């Protein structure tokens, strides 16, 4: 197949001509049939115009996914647990380096199929409002502010900072109000009021568009207040394009346009579904329903000019990626293939895995001595690779299970005894007796339990998912708690390591075992990272990006998209472990909380500072968290809301002053019409290593609080 155009069609190949003009020219040269062919994810070649085939579908939630060799970082929920914007930027940059190198290698070999392009359907910035949702581990957690900060860093790291060329196209998803139930996603209508929409579900998307410059957005399967998300005038036209100024392209989730007529039944035919979507701002169909656009135009359902609008947006992206320019002019095309699975990226994967680990409990047993003698490693996930990778993952060149990491890190005199104890689902008890005997011989037991990407994930996934993806219980699956109790009965100190993508109600473990480490789905360096925490080579500092509830009875119905009772912001009961919680092997003390003033006029910012000291005997990292409560709001507001955080490292005895700036938007409320206002009233502010008045206030720590007053009333502009 030749990619060479004839002599009359070279304008779009001239790098000196502005991209907008080149895109206009390309569209003007296409027939209606050719235009429509470019609006589905496997876009065919148009030889006469020198347009090669291109598949728009690619994934990189935590490293380049589904395209062979790639560095596999912790699953997104683990990256969320790092609370580290700088680290997120490094992970995204490493991912985009590998993506560029792999793409150009594929092109040189004539491969232009799915998972080989430069347009990536990541990150997933939906709010993880309910722990039953199977895809929650693809997100950064339950908080809009944390999700926004990490999402912006990820988008920027993927897209690069060149003034002309995009490194990749990032696609925040799934816009919007989307978080299960998975079996209902093709028919469900998420009902939310304007305040909840703008205070919870939209802030991360707005930040990724306005601050991050995301060049693409993926719509959701479900309806939102009656409108299909991929054909919503309110979401796609009024908010995304008109209000936020988005000028990129919108892609549907896979099969979502078909849902509009086949399942939502908003319109009766494929032609009407395609026309409705394009008219309301969706430009690209992951699926094949947009093939009906040609007939829709001929039937008068949509003018061809709106098809032109979408095709221009798509080719603007391809031109900005440098696909039609000489490779030597595109700096990102020069990234060598040896960055893929490089030593530098392996070290970054280890750093990310370490940073994601959350110490939930420690009665003093950790860290263990490396020369402990006999060490039992028990559990179905101790030597399992599936739980390391999460989903939408690549294939690592080197992958270390928790068992392998422990064996590598123990002292020479320590013997590691291993027994799975159960099958991968935790349903079998055939190995219980062996696990008990192994524990009896040991001086301590590491028990690796939790969930699996086989048990929680996306409905219809192709990775062997057992069930529909969502969870029916927050308890340890199967008979895992029985296994844990049996090991505990052996009378040795027990360290529980959890591998999972969402909250678990490990109430018995919290009361009975010596220590608990939350490991998530920690990526290729999992074993080394977990062993480094267990043996004290690394001081854990991850924080929970979600609330761990005591039971499902504490939660509203799964289908309830109002936030009442959901997430730490609106939850008034006592959790098992609160959002923002995590322990350390050292102690941090807070002092000298200073506010720029205790009274300020509406519309002005407030500067806040606090001094943090490592008051313990080990170097460590602390996540300094700032929460705000509007004590006199005229409308419903969160109990408290995260408004700032910093992850810092301090040597023993050292201190650092950490500064924050609260903007007018941080102090605002949203009225019933969706307007963001700063109104008069008193606010309570807290800064510490966790939330105030909760288990997040750890022994030896201070969570400092202060109050200030806002006078006057203005519309918040930032």
* CATH code, domain carrying 514: 3.40.50.1700
Residues 72 and 120 in one domain: yes
C-alpha pair distances (Å), 298 with each of 61, 295, 304: 40, 5, 9
Query: What does DSSP assign to residue 69?
Result: B
Residues 160 and 260 in one domain: yes
Whether residue 3 is contained in a domain is answered as no
Other C-beta atoms closer than 10 Å to the C-beta of 107 total 17
Alpha carbon 151 to chain centroid distance? 7
Tell me, what's the pLDDT at 143? Answer: 98
Tokens of 215: 């060049």
Q: Are strands 515-518 and 494-499 parallel, antiparallel or unpaired?
A: parallel
Residue 404: active-site member: no
Residues 533 and 671 in one domain: no
**What b/e readout covers 345-359, taking b as 16+ CB neighbours within 10 angstroms?**
bbebbbbbbbbbbbb
Residues 224 and 274 in one domain: yes
Whether residue 488 is contained in a domain is answered as yes
Q: Which of 143, 285, 153, 141 is nearest to 213 (CA)?
A: 153
**What b/e readout covers 593-614, taking b as 16+ CB neighbours within 10 angstroms?**
bebeeeebebbbebebebebbb
The angle at the Cα of 191, spanning 187 to 196, to the nearest 5 degrees, equals 140
Using DSSP, state whether 136 is helix, strand or coil.
helix
Domain boundary among 312, 339, 366: 339
Residues 328 and 434 in one domain: no
Which candidate in 142, 253, 259, 518 is catalytic?
253
In the chain the first and final C-alpha atoms are separated, in Å, by 52
Name residue 611's beta-bridge partners: 591, 657
Residue 456: active-site member: yes
Q: Which of 40, 46, 54, 24 is nearest to 283 (CA)?
A: 40
Q: How many domains does the chain have?
A: 3
Phi then psi for 705, rounded to 5 degrees? -125, 155
Using DSSP, state whether 661 is helix, strand or coil.
strand
Domain boundary among 570, 599, 622: 570
Q: Which of 652, 664, 657, 594 is nearest to 624 (CA)?
A: 657
Residues 145 and 175 in one domain: yes
* CATH code, domain carrying 710: 2.60.40.10
Residues 385 and 466 in one domain: yes
Whether residue 316 is contained in a domain is answered as yes
* CATH code, domain carrying 230: 3.20.20.300
> Among positive and negative, which fits the CA dihedral 133, 136, 142, 143?
negative
Which candidate in 182, 227, 404, 456 is catalytic?
456
Domain boundary among 278, 312, 339: 339
Tell me, what's the pLDDT at 1? Answer: 37
Whether residue 444 is contained in a domain is answered as yes
Residues 124 and 263 in one domain: yes
Residues 476 and 596 in one domain: no
Residues 550 and 609 in one domain: no
Whether residue 344 is contained in a domain is answered as no
> Among positive and negative, which fits the CA dihedral 52, 54, 60, 63?
negative
Range of the domain at 454: 357-570
Residues 564 and 598 in one domain: no
Q: Which of 247, 246, 271, 237 is nearest to 257 (CA)?
A: 271
Q: For each successive 10 residues of the chain (718 residues), what is the average pLDDT? A: 49 94 96 98 96 98 98 98 98 99 98 98 98 98 98 99 98 98 97 97 98 98 98 98 98 98 98 98 98 98 98 98 97 98 98 98 98 97 96 98 98 97 87 97 98 92 77 95 98 98 98 98 98 98 98 97 97 97 97 96 97 98 98 96 98 98 97 92 98 62 92 87
Contact (Cβ atoms closer than 8 angstroms) between residue 638 and residue 666: no
Tell me, what's the pLDDT at 700? Answer: 45
Whether residue 607 is contained in a domain is answered as yes
Whether residue 348 is contained in a domain is answered as no
Which pTM does this prediction carry?
Answer: 0.97
Radius of gyration of the chain (CA): 26
Using DSSP, state whether 530 is helix, strand or coil.
helix
Q: Which of 129, 116, 124 is nearest to 61 (CA)?
A: 124
Residues 597 and 456 in one domain: no
Whether residue 17 is contained in a domain is answered as yes
Using DSSP, state whether 699 is helix, strand or coil.
coil
Q: Which of 231, 224, 166, 181 is nearest to 200 (CA)?
A: 224
| Contact residues for 573 (Cβ-Cβ < 8 A; gap 6+) | 550, 554
Tokens of 43: 């876009």
DSSP symbols for 264-281:
S-SSSSHHHHHHHHHHTT
């Amino acid at each position: 197949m030749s990619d060479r155009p004839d002599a009359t069609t070279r304008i779009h190949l001239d790098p000196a001509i502005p991209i907008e003009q080149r895109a206009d020219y390309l569209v003007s040269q296409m027939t209606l049939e050719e235009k429509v062919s470019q609006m589905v994810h496997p876009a065919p070649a148009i030889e006469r115009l020198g347009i090669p085939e291109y598949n728009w579908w690619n994934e990189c939630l935590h490293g380049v996914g589904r395209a062979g060799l790639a560095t596999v970082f912790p699953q997104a929920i683990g990256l969320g647990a790092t609370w580290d914007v700088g680290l997120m930027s490094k992970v995204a940059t490493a991912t985009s380096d590998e993506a560029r190198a792999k793409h150009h290698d594929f092109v040189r070999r004539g491969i232009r199929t799915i998972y080989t392009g430069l347009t990536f359907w990541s990150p997933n910035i939906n709010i993880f409002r309910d722990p039953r949702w199977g895809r929650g581990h693809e997100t950064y957690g339950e908080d809009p502010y944390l999700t926004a900060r990490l999402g912006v860093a990820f988008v920027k790291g993927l897209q690069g900072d060149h003034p002309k060329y995009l490194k990749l196209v990032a696609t925040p998803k799934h816009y919007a109000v989307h978080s299960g139930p998975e079996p209902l996603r093709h028919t469900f209508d998420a009902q939310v009021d304007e305040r909840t929409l703008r205070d919870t579900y939209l802030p991360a998307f707005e930040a990724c568009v306005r601050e991050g410059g995301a060049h693409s957005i993926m719509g959701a399967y479900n309806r939102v207040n009656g409108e299909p998300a991929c054909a919503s005038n309110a979401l796609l036209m009024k908010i995304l394009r008109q209000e936020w100024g988005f000028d990129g392209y919108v892609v549907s989730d896979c099969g979502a346009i078909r849902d509009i007529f086949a399942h939502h039944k908003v319109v009766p035919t494929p032609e009407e579904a395609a026309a409705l979507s394009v008219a309301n701002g969706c430009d690209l169909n992951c699926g094949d329903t947009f093939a009906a656009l040609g007939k829709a135009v001929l039937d008068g359902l949509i003018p061809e000019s709106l098809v032109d609008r979408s095709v221009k947006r798509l080719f603007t992206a391809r031109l900005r990626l440098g696909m039609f320019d000489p490779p030597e002019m595109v700096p990102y095309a020069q990234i060598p293939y040896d960055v893929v699975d490089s030593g530098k990226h392996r070290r970054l994967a280890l750093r990310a895995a370490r940073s994601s680990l959350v110490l939930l409990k420690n009665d003093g047993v950790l860290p263990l001595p490396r020369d402990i003698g006999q060490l039992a490693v028990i559990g179905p996930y101790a030597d399992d690779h599936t739980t390391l990778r999460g989903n939408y993952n690549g294939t690592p060149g080197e992958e270390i299970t928790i068992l392998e990491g422990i064996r590598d890190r123990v002292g020479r005199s320590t013997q590691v005894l291993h027994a799975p104890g159960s099958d991968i689902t935790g349903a079998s008890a055939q190995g219980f007796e062996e696990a008990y005997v192994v524990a009896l011989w040991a001086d301590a037991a590491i028990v690796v339990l939790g969930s699996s990407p086989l048990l929680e994930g996306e409905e219809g996934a192709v990775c062997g998912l057992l069930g529909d993806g969502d969870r029916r219980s927050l308890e340890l699956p199967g008979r895992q708690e029985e296994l844990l109790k049996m090991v505990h009965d052996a009378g040795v100190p027990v360290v529980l390591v959890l591998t999972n993508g969402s909250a678990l109600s490990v109430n018995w473990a919290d009361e009975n075992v010596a220590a608990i480490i939350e490991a998530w789905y920690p990526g290729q360096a999992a074993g080394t990272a977990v062993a480094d925490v267990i043996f004290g080579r690394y001081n854990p500092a991850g924080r929970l990006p979600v609330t761990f509830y005591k039971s499902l009875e504490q939660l509203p119905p799964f289908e309830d998209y109002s936030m009442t009772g959901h997430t730490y912001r609106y939850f008034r009961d006592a959790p098992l472990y609160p959002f923002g919680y995590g322990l350390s092997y050292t102690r941090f003390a807070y002092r000298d909380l200073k506010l720029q003033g205790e009274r300020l006029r509406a519309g002005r910012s407030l500067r806040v500072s606090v001094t943090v000291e490592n008051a313990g005997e080990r170097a460590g990292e602390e996540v300094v968290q700032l929460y705000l409560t509007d004590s006199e709001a005229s409308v419903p507001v969160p109990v408290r809301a995260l408004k700032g955080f910093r992850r810092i490292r301090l040597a023993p005895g050292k201190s650092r002053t950490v500064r924050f700036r609260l903007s007018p938007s941080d102090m605002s409320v949203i009225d019933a019409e969706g307007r963001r206002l700063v109104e008069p009233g008193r606010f309570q502010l807290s800064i510490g290593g966790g939330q105030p008045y909760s288990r997040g206030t750890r022994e030896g720590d201070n969570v400092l609080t202060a109050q200030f007053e806002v006078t006057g009333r203005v519309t918040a502009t930032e």
